[in-house]
């Protein structure tokens, strides 16, 4: 007599994903970030929903509605701080999750990987439009700078930008539609996350050895249900620490000033999680070139599976590629730093060299190292 969790149609779906799912016994902490992203999404949707009950998406009242939430709404200050810092934690988890995928060769699960790239783009778009909503100086001018990039599209660029704006500049029409997008996209992300898991569960998870783990699986519950729960606790403690002790650590002081289209801040920059892409954008003096480089910096992930050359799946037993991986991480940190600096010497040349290195690592050095490791390890 099979248990209800295995026969009832709805419970069966939950069971096959969270209870009886065969999981490799050796997946490490780097495999926690998937479930942590799910937690971040739920946390952002819940805090966002409560913020949406009090926020007004109108240029005359948006900024003060956020102040009203922070000062008058019961625990509004906490909901607002958790939502703002929750976005940063979302990106911390996203970058760790992608790093795991690159390091352990998980990108060879192409279905899950490609849906993952779509999820990354959706999360970035959600965060971008969300940052506009408080209608501070950086909200307004960040939106102006980035939406203006679309004018680089040949022939239809200017029409495209005005279509997105709903007018001739970032104004009320832009704010209201950005609020609509910011509310909608998380549900699209939730749906795509389910597609992401659908693809993942066709094969099951990768593992740190990169070998077939069919002979050594354990059930998801209790091993990874409890491990993920511990991960949730750690994330919530760190998020609460930031939100309660240093809520403005990752923010920009300019966003405490209401948006003023007549006053341009001296240094317009996005939030930290976009700075590496911002640096790549600014490294090319041509507008269209910069926009293409910006897109390529994310879309390069789609070609990574096709550039896998080594017979070994992950980097666990590949010291040369490991060195390149850490070079990539250090390079992205340099790009993040440069993205927050003014466009002056020596930051210009550093940014350009780091951008070239970023693409070189993905397109040339990683494949070359894999090919070399095949030879050195006698795998061919």
Partner 1 sequence: MGGHFGDLARMRHVVTYSLSPFEQRAFPNFFSKGIPNVWRRFRASVFKVAPPMIALYLTYTWGNSTYRASKRKVHADFENDE
Q: Binding of partner 1 at residue 217 (CB under 8 A)?
A: yes
Find the part of the chain contacting partner 1 (CB under 8 A) among 55-63, 114-122, 182-190, 207-215.
207-215
Distance CA 214, CA 169 (A): 57
End-to-end CA distance of the chain: 51
Q: Binding of partner 1 at residue 204 (CB under 8 A)?
A: yes
Q: Binding of partner 1 at residue 329 (CB under 8 A)?
A: yes
Please say whether the beta carbons of 192 and 146 come within 8 A. no
Which H helix or E strand runs over 218?
strand 217-219
Q: Which of 296, 256, 251 is nearest to 269 (CA)?
A: 251
Tell me which residues in 30-59 interact with partner 1 (CB under 8 A). none
Q: Binding of partner 1 at residue 108 (CB under 8 A)?
A: no
Please say whether the beta carbons of 259 and 63 come within 8 A. yes
Distance CA 121, CA 299 (A): 9
Q: Binding of partner 1 at residue 111 (CB under 8 A)?
A: no
Distance CA 236, CA 304 (A): 32
Query: Rounded to the nearest whole angstrom, what is the least distance from the CB of residue 217 to partner 1 in the complex?
Result: 6
Distance CA 272, CA 339 (A): 9
Q: Binding of partner 1 at residue 333 (CB under 8 A)?
A: yes
Query: Rounded to the nearest whole angstrom, what is the least distance from the CB of residue 342 to partner 1 in the complex?
Result: 8
**Measured between alpha carbons, how far is residue 99 from residues 77, 105, 122 in Å?**
33, 10, 18
Find the part of the chain contacting partner 1 (CB under 8 A) among 47-55, 62-70, 181-189, 317-325.
317-325
Query: Rounded to the nearest whole angstrom, what is the least distance from the CB of residue 215 to partner 1 in the complex?
Result: 4
Applying CB under 8 A, among 5, 16, 95, 258 the residue interacting with partner 1 is 16
Q: Binding of partner 1 at residue 20 (CB under 8 A)?
A: yes
Query: Rounded to the nearest whole angstrom, what is the least distance from the CB of residue 325 to partner 1 in the complex?
Result: 8
Applying CB under 8 A, the site for partner 1 has a residue count of: 32
Question: What are φ and ψ of residue 327, in 5° steps?
Answer: -65, -40
Q: Binding of partner 1 at residue 198 (CB under 8 A)?
A: yes
Helix (H, G, I), strand (E, B) or coil at 217: strand
Please say whether the beta carbons of 256 and 325 come within 8 A. no
Q: Binding of partner 1 at residue 203 (CB under 8 A)?
A: yes
Find the part of the chain contacting partner 1 (CB under 8 A) among 103-111, 188-196, 212-220, 265-273.
212-220
Tokens of 331: 């390079």
Helix (H, G, I), strand (E, B) or coil at 258: strand
Q: CB burial class (10 A; 0-12, 13-18, 19+) of residue 253?
A: exposed
Applying CB under 8 A, among 25, 28, 212, 248 the residue interacting with partner 1 is 212
Q: Binding of partner 1 at residue 9 (CB under 8 A)?
A: no
Applying CB under 8 A, among 68, 177, 201, 287 the residue interacting with partner 1 is 201
Q: Binding of partner 1 at residue 299 (CB under 8 A)?
A: no
Query: Rounded to the nearest whole angstrom, what is the least distance from the CB of residue 278 to partner 1 in the complex?
Result: 16
* Binding footprint of partner 1 on the chain (CB under 8 A): 16-17, 20-22, 198, 201-204, 212, 214-215, 217, 219, 319, 322-323, 326-327, 329-331, 333-334, 337, 341, 344-347, 350
């Amino acid at each position: 007599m099979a248990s209800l969790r295995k026969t009832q149609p709805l419970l069966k779906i939950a069971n096959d994903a969270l209870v009886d799912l065969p999981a490799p016994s050796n997946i490490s902490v780097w495999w926690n970030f998937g479930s942590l992203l799910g937690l971040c999404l739920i946390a952002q949707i819940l805090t966002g929903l409560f913020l949406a009950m009090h926020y007004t998406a109108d240029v005359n009242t948006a900024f003060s509605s956020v102040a009203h939430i922070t000062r008058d709404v019961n625990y509004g200050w906490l909901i607002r701080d958790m939502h703002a810092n929750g976005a940063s934690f979302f990106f911390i988890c996203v970058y760790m999750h992608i790093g795991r995928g690159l390091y352990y060769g998980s990108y060879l699960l192409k279905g899950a990987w490609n849906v993952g790239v779509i999820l990354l783009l959706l999360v970035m778009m959600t965060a971008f439009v969300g940052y506009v909503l408080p209608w501070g100086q950086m909200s307004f001018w960040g939106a102006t700078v980035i939406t203006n990039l679309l004018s680089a599209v040949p022939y239809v660029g200017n029409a495209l930008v005005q279509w997105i704006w709903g007018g001739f500049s970032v104004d009320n029409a832009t704010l209201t539609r950005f609020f609509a997008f910011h509310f909608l996209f998380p549900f699209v992300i939730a749906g795509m996350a389910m597609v992401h898991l659908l693809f993942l569960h066709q094969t099951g998870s990768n593992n740190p050895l990169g070998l077939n783990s069919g002979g050594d699986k354990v059930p998801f519950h209790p091993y990874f249900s409890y491990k993920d729960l511990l991960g949730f606790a750690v994330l919530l403690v760190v998020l609460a620490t930031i939100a309660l002790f240093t809520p403005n650590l990752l923010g920009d002081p300019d966003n405490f000033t209401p948006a003023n289209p007549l006053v341009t801040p001296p240094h317009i920059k996005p939030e930290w999680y976009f700075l590496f892409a911002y640096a790549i954008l600014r490294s090319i003096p041509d507008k269209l070139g910069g926009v293409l480089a910006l897109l390529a910096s994310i879309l390069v992930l789609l070609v990574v599976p096709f550039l896998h050359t080594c017979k070994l799946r992950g980097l666990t037993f590949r010291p040369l590629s490991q060195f390149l991986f850490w070079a990539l991480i250090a390079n992205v940190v340099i790009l993040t730093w440069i993205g927050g600096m003014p466009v002056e010497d020596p930051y210009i040349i550093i940014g350009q060299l780091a951008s070239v290195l970023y693409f070189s690592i993905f397109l040339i050095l990683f494949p070359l190292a894999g090919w070399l490791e095949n030879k050195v390890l006698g795998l061919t």
